[in-house]
Amino acid sequence: MSYASHIARITLLTLVASPSVAQTTTQTEPAPLFPPVTQSPLDPAPNSQIIPMAESALEDENATQEDSAAQEDNAAQSGRTIPSVSELSRALSDAENGVTDSEGAQGPITQPPAVQVPTSQTPTTQTPTTQTPTTQTTTAQNTIPSEPVTAASVNSATYSGEGGLPEGRSPVTVKLQVLLDRAHVSVSIIDGVKGGMTESALMAYEARMGLPVDGLLDAQVWDMLGGNEIDIYIKEYTITQADTQGLSAPLPSDYGELAQLDRMGYTSVSEKLAERFHMSEGFLDQLNPGAGFYAGESVLVTEPGAKAVGQVTSIIIDKSDRRLRAWNALGQEIANYPVAVGSASTPSPSGIMTVDAVALEPTYHYNPSLNFQQGENDKPLTLPPGANGPVGLVWIDLSKPTYGIHGTPEPASLFTAHSHGCVRMANWDAQELASLVSEGVSVEFRE
């Protein structure tokens, strides 16, 4: 049976300006349908539809996902189990995330990856060429002493240039993660924990700046990021009435019950705020012990900075280091994100394709005749859109049928599990990328 036969259908209405709910109809033909060539999929005529496919779980529903070290640390810090998203989203992704890495989200990266840097000044006619940056063998560093993480300790954190990041959570690591996020080199979730996500982002930043790529913090990297500048990295935020509205009730795990809902949204104010400020829920709770997360309450949050701006003309997805790099027409890297890609058994594609469409708030189509059967649900169902949907808040459709770049309700899983071929990103990273791309953008998968 072909790979496509294992894919759940997803029906999308192309949206660009606002995250309104997609209105869709179920299609039974296997091939995706696209608007006429005279219409731009990113600027559709009224009621035009784009019907790509979505990755889904395979039949093995007994596959399990290894919890990430970041989530474990968050739960330990807060003294209770705090999922980064609702229990529903974990149930939806259990089977899809059946293939896991041996390390958690903050586990070490054992080898510096080769990084591709486009040198062409005309990406519309030439594809970026590959350069491997100078690398250094990772050596042990004496760690600098840690201290409690508070707004004051993070905002005043300094780095002398000697020693590596403290183990566990520390003010200097929080500040470093915020600085990398502001430089548009995403660490996915900001949690202040030393580990693989931070190391991966450091490598990406070093490669961008033409520095030796070793994933270790040093004085040069700290200075280039602006680490010694006085600024606000953790701020006080007053929860608004709007923050407390539009939430979903606790979500059921049964697909038939989910199909009766209007959306699969955030189930708590803390989950909603954590995504807005690029944080883990556990870290948000740790910064705000005893918070009720009600309108009018002031809480501490990170300040990651403004979204990236520009026009992306070329995307490179490197399977070796699991990062997506977005370039403009001048060969400048606009943004760099961590992603989950396919496994050896369900690989992501290779070669060059293009962006065909962008859809915000996609629905998810479940068809037990094409893939797994969930519970007693033996008929096709359409699951509503929302942040806790299987493909999150964004679907970027690729010209290769059934493949896309999409969000996830489990950003901490990016380094602990493989996808089934599509490219998975944190919801906020996927939203930012969606604002930078347009129809026809080149997307290259590299080994």
Q: Do 248 and 388 contact (CB within 8 A), yes or no? A: yes
- Residue 424 is part of a domain; what is its CATH number? 2.40.440.10
The per-residue pLDDT for 402 is: 77
The per-residue pLDDT for 275 is: 96
pLDDT over 90 (residue 331) = yes
In which band, very low, low, confident or very high, does the pLDDT at 410 lie, cut at 50, 70 and 90?
A: confident
CA angle, corner 210, sides to 130 and 227, nearest 5?
Answer: 140
The per-residue pLDDT for 321 is: 87
Residue 23's CB is within 10 A of a number of other CB atoms, namely 11
Give domain status of residue 332, yes or no.
yes
Q: What is the pTM of this model?
A: 0.71
Paired strand residues for 53: 9
pLDDT digits (tens, 9 = 90+) for 156-196: 999 988 888 999 999 999 999 999 999 999 999 999 999 99
Domain range for 41 is 3-68+309-406+419-446
Q: Do 42 and 84 contact (CB within 8 A), yes or no? A: no
Give domain status of residue 268, yes or no.
no
Cα 143 versus chain centre, distance:
29
Residue 350's CB is within 10 A of a number of other CB atoms, namely 12
Rounded to 5 degrees, φ, ψ at 103 are: -105, 155
With a CB cutoff of 8 Å and minimum separation 6, the contacts of 17 are: none
Q: Whose CA is closest to 207, among 116, 95, 271?
A: 116
Report how far residue 179's alpha carbon sits from residue 200's, in angstroms, rounded to the nearest whole number. 14
pLDDT digits (tens, 9 = 90+) for 425-445: 999 999 999 999 999 999 998
pLDDT digits (tens, 9 = 90+) for 367-395: 888 666 888 999 999 989 999 888 899 99
pLDDT digits (tens, 9 = 90+) for 336-371: 999 988 766 666 777 899 999 999 999 888 888 866
Give domain status of residue 129, yes or no.
no
Q: Do 444 and 369 contact (CB within 8 A), yes or no? A: no
Paired strand residues for 418: none
Q: Whose CA is closest to 170, among 236, 233, 105?
A: 233
The highest-confidence range among 50-64, 109-123, 147-161, by mean pLDDT, is 147-161
- Count of structural domains within the chain: 1
Q: Do 375 and 92 contact (CB within 8 A), yes or no? A: no
The per-residue pLDDT for 418 is: 64
pLDDT over 50 (residue 6) = no
**DSSP letter (8 states) at residue 5:** G
The per-residue pLDDT for 125 is: 39
| C-alpha dihedral, 89 to 239 to 198 to 337, nearest 10° | 60
Give the residue with greater pLDDT, 35 vs 136: 136
With a CB cutoff of 8 Å and minimum separation 6, the contacts of 79 are: none
Give domain status of residue 198, yes or no.
no
The per-residue pLDDT for 371 is: 61
Q: SS3 of 285, please?
A: helix
> Would you mind telling me the total number of residues written for the chain in this entry?
447
Give domain status of residue 334, yes or no.
yes
Q: Do 65 and 98 contact (CB within 8 A), yes or no? A: yes
The highest-confidence range among 35-44, 78-87, 285-294, by mean pLDDT, is 285-294
Report how far residue 23's alpha carbon sits from residue 263's, in angstroms, rounded to the nearest whole number. 12
Report how far residue 29's alpha carbon sits from residue 11's, in angstroms, rounded to the nearest whole number. 12
Give domain status of residue 23, yes or no.
yes
Paired strand residues for 381: 366
Rounded to 5 degrees, φ, ψ at 258 are: -60, -35
The per-residue pLDDT for 447 is: 84
pLDDT digits (tens, 9 = 90+) for 25-47: 333 222 222 222 223 334 333 33
Lowest-pLDDT choice from 63-67, 153-157, 303-307, 418-422: 63-67
